[in-house]
Amino acid sequence: MLKNKENISSLDHESRLDQGDHDAIRLWLRLLTCTNMIEGALRTRLREAFGTTLPRFDFMAQLARVPEGLTMGELSRRMMVSGGNVSGIASQLEREGLIHRAPLPNNRRTFCVKLSPEGEHRFAEMAEAHEQWVVELLGHLTHDDHQRLMSTLKQVKSGIAESLE
């Protein structure tokens, strides 16, 4: 359950709906509201439990998936943010000893970023809590609910991808 229920109204895009709005608009706003509510809860919990932010968690999650490391450009693409955002996060995490940055041997201008042993340990703690929180937030749904939603969202994703081609 969200601790800050007063924040829900600021996340609830559905409150803007009129009776005459198209079903697609209604669906889009429902998806956006749910996403914002889950993201807001995760941001709050990461801050309170670990003193960190969701972008820092996402940065470390990308590195945890690729133990040999990623370049700053690869991190930027994977996180879908600017290089400046990635550089700022990397500088913070490096100061805290959670990552290591080193220039690539064949290109001294390109840096490879890896989690440090302390970063691996810290991320493992955060990832375990993050998973528990997501399970808690969506745990009221049955297995059949999950299957139906995943199937429907697969159709949504495929339809969007086709329309963008």
Sheet strands side by side (includes 107-115): 70-71, 107-115, 99-104
Q: What pTM does this model have?
A: 0.81
Architecture of the domain defined by 52-129: Orthogonal Bundle (1.10)
So what's the pLDDT on residue 82?
Answer: 83
Check if the beta carbon of residue 14 is closer than 8 Å to that of residue 29: yes
Check if the beta carbon of residue 151 is closer than 8 Å to that of residue 137: no
**pLDDT tens digits along 61-116:** 999 999 999 999 999 999 998 888 899 999 999 999 999 999 888 887 888 999 99
d(CA 70, CA 48): 28
> Is 6's pLDDT higher than 90?
no
> Is 2's pLDDT higher than 60?
no
Domain boundaries, the chain: 1-51, 52-129
So what's the pLDDT on residue 105?
Answer: 84
H helical segments located in 14-142: 23-50, 54-65, 72-79, 83-95, 117-138
**pLDDT tens digits along 120-135:** 999 999 999 999 999 9
